[in-house]
């Protein structure tokens, strides 16, 4: 698996009302556009999912119905989301979870993703490393990356980016990737 080094990337994370992208909704999103190692744009917001957050899910991310009752709806930020991510490289940990939620929310607004490239740190970890498990917090802890705020979109997006940088460093040392780091 050849991995390209990106000069510009958008770290993405979502928190949701559950695990099923067909019936559940996004309650928090973070898009952090990073160019040559510096944050150049951020969109981080709670969202009103228009459905209740199950109590067991609130226990995971700490987001409650009370916190999101006056938050914007996804449709209020959909165009801005597309402006940030279309024709960019999206960095995510577990694309099979986040991307279907994002696509569904955009589809509900009559919009769709186009021309994006996805880099999944979960896939990189699974294919190239042997961590005790490949959860975001396990890999972050392995690299001594701060995990405070875990299961909140902005913290998880930043952890994903920091993990990506560490994985790239190691893969470069192994000769799996070449070129300037640019990070």
Which positions are catalytic? 151
Q: Which of 11, 3, 12, 161 is nearest to 100 (CA)?
A: 12
SS3 state at 44: strand
Structure tokens at 28: 């928090």
Non-local CB neighbours of 8 within 8 Å, separated by 6+ positions: 33, 34, 35, 36, 88, 89
The beta-carbon contacts of 124-127 under 8 Å, at least 24 apart in sequence, are 124/1, 124/3, 124/164, 124/167, 124/171, 125/163, 125/167, 127/1
For tokens 């939620």, name the residue: 101
- What Cα–Cα distance (Å) separates residue 137 from each residue in 131, 180, 181? 11, 28, 24
């Amino acid at each position: 698996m050849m991995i390209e080094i990106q000069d510009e990337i958008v770290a993405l994370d979502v928190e949701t009302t559950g695990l099923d992208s067909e019936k559940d909704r996004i309650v928090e999103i973070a898009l952090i556009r990073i160019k040559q190692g510096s944050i150049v744009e951020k969109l981080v917001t709670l969202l009103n999912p228009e459905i209740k957050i199950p109590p067991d899910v609130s226990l995971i991310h700490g987001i409650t119905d009370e916190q999101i009752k006056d938050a914007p709806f996804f449709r209020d930020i959909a165009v801005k989301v597309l402006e940030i991510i279309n024709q960019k490289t999206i960095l995510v940990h577990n694309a099979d979870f986040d991307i279907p939620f994002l696509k569904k929310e955009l589809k509900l607004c009559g919009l769709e993703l186009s021309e994006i490239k996805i880099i999944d740190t979960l896939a990189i970890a699974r294919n190239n490393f042997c961590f005790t498990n490949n959860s975001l917090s396990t890999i972050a802890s392995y690299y001594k990356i701060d995990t405070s705020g875990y299961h909140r979109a902005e913290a998880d997006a930043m952890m994903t980016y920091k993990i990506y940088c560490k994985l790239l460093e190691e893969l470069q040392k192994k000769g799996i990737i070449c070129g300037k780091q640019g990070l």
